[in-house]
Structure 1
């Protein structure tokens, strides 16, 4: 039985992406992940909702 080698390298920080770059002026986009589609919506109160 072989174990995967362990690394002590720190994880890089999460990427920072402005919502405007994703939405490009739209109020809704579809994001596909692992074969499933999700909707990212901007509400009337300018909040984000992710729906499956």
Structure 2
């Protein structure tokens, strides 16, 4: 029996995404490490972006 494949996403606040994850060096690191992100508006409690 095979295990199902899972993808793990890191949920981050939209302000953190704008201030930190938009840096070129951080974008390079997330691409190299295939980091999956969910950008969340914490006040509205809604997902703004799924970043693969």
- Larger Rg computed on CA atoms: 1
After TM superposition, the score normalised by the length of structure 1 is: 0.26
After TM superposition, the score normalised by the length of structure 2 is: 0.26
Structure having the higher helix fraction is 2
